[in-house]
């Protein structure tokens, strides 16, 4: 480790290394990293600036931004760490070190504590712990043939594994229906919880009494929506109360304190807290 300190201190260190590549970590006050990255110049500082803007449209990693916002909201500061530096002809070595540290600490859906969605090396190391066959099946086709579905699939995999993704690109649903409770009995499920978590994360919301989670959200420029069937299941299972709208895509789900408790019992308090949702 070459450097560890505050935002003010790291700016001086970055000036001292010029245009070198570096591997960095964003850390909580106790030293645990929550994001590993590779950058040059002031890249390491851009994440906090993005989180402070609190603009959900265009956030490439809502989990990371939510953790930063939580740290700031609680009166703390992000702890910055520079692991190593590399000359301009050693970019591959920099990428390899980034991937090594991500494997070492582990991502949230792998049982670790990093909010990284990808495993480093660009996306060469894989976006999530699925086989290629299952990855393709989840997308209902080859990922390169449906990049919007692939983007949402990667986002959901960062929450947890699902047999089929409960959110869809809004332009790929033939008809967005007004949400009514499913006619058959339904129990709370992880799949429905992940749909609510996806939208809450994208909007930078906390799961608290009377939180209102829009059915529609944007992730990496993909306009997404909780699909018709999952929305009906959420209501029937008592996981939320519908805030209706004449435009079904403008609906929202309101969660009471007991309904937040359902989310906690399904997903786990630590998992939600590590993503900045509690």
pLDDT digits (tens, 9 = 90+) for 181-219: 999 999 999 999 999 999 999 999 999 999 999 999 999
Q: 43-53 vs 62-73: helix axis angle to the nearest 10?
A: 80
Strand stretches in 117-221, DSSP E: 167-169, 211-214, 216-219
Structure tokens at 121: 């090396």
- Window from 150-159, 185-194, 213-222, 262-271 with minimum mean pLDDT: 150-159
Q: Which pLDDT score is estimated for 130?
A: 38
Strand stretches in the chain, DSSP E: 3-5, 21-27, 33-39, 79-86, 167-169, 211-214, 216-219, 222-226, 241-243, 252-255
Q: What is the DSSP letter of 245?
A: -
147-162 b/e (C-beta count within 10 Å ≥ 16 → b):
ebbbbbbbbbbbbbeb
Segment 144-157 shows an average pLDDT of 86
The terminus-to-terminus CA distance of the chain in angstroms comes to: 31
Q: Which pLDDT score is estimated for 58?
A: 60
Show the 3-state SS of 44-71.
HHHHHHHHHHCCCCCCCCHHHHHHHHHH
By CB atoms closer than 10 A (0-12, 13-18, 19+), residue 223 is: middle
Q: Are 106 and 113 in contact (CB under 8 A)?
A: yes
d(CA 71, CA 78): 7
By CB atoms closer than 10 A (0-12, 13-18, 19+), residue 202 is: buried
- Window from 49-63, 75-89, 153-167, 247-261 with minimum mean pLDDT: 49-63
d(CA 71, CA 53): 15
Q: Which pLDDT score is estimated for 139?
A: 38
pLDDT tops 60 at residue 124: no
Q: Which pLDDT score is estimated for 157?
A: 84
d(CA 169, CA 182): 22
pTM above 0.75, yes or no: yes
Q: Which helix (H) or strand (E) holds 130?
A: none
- Window from 77-86, 103-112, 125-134 with minimum mean pLDDT: 125-134
Q: What is the DSSP letter of 88?
A: G
Q: Which pLDDT score is estimated for 120?
A: 74
- Window from 48-57, 110-119, 251-260 with minimum mean pLDDT: 48-57
d(CA 196, CA 213): 7
Confidence label for 255 from pLDDT (cuts 50, 70 and 90): very high
């Amino acid at each position: 480790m070459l450097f560890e300190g505050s935002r003010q201190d790291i700016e001086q260190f970055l000036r001292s290394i010029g245009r070198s590549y570096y591997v960095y970590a964003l850390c909580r006050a106790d030293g645990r990293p929550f994001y590993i990255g590779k950058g040059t110049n002031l890249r390491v500082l851009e994440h906090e600036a993005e989180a402070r803007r609190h603009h959900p449209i265009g956030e490439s990693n809502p989990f990371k931004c939510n953790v930063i916002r939580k740290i700031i909201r609680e009166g703390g500061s992000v702890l910055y760490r520079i692991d190593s530096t590399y000359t301009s002809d050693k970019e591959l070595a920099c990428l390899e070190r980034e991937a090594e540290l991500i494997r070492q600490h582990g991502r949230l859906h792998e049982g670790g504590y990093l909010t990284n969605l990808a495993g480093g090396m660009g996306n060469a190391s894989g976006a999530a712990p699925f086989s290629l066959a299952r990855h393709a099946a989840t997308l209902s086709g080859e990922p390169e043939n449906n990049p919007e579905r692939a983007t949402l699939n990667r986002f959901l995999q960062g929450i947890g594994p699902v047999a089929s993704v409960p959110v869809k690109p809004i332009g790929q649903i033939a008809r967005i229906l007004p949400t009514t409770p499913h006619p058959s009995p339904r129990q709370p499920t992880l799949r429905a919880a992940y749909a609510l978590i996806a939208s809450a994360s994208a909007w930078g919301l906390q799961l608290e009494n009377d939180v209102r989670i829009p059915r529609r959200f944007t992730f990496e420029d993909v306009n997404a929506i909780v699909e018709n069937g999952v929305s009906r299941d959420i209501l029937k299972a008592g996981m939320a109360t519908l805030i209706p709208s004449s435009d079904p895509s403008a609906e929202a789900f309101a969660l009471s304190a007991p309904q937040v408790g359902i989310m906690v019992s399904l997903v786990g308090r630590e998992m939600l807290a590590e993503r900045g949702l509690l």
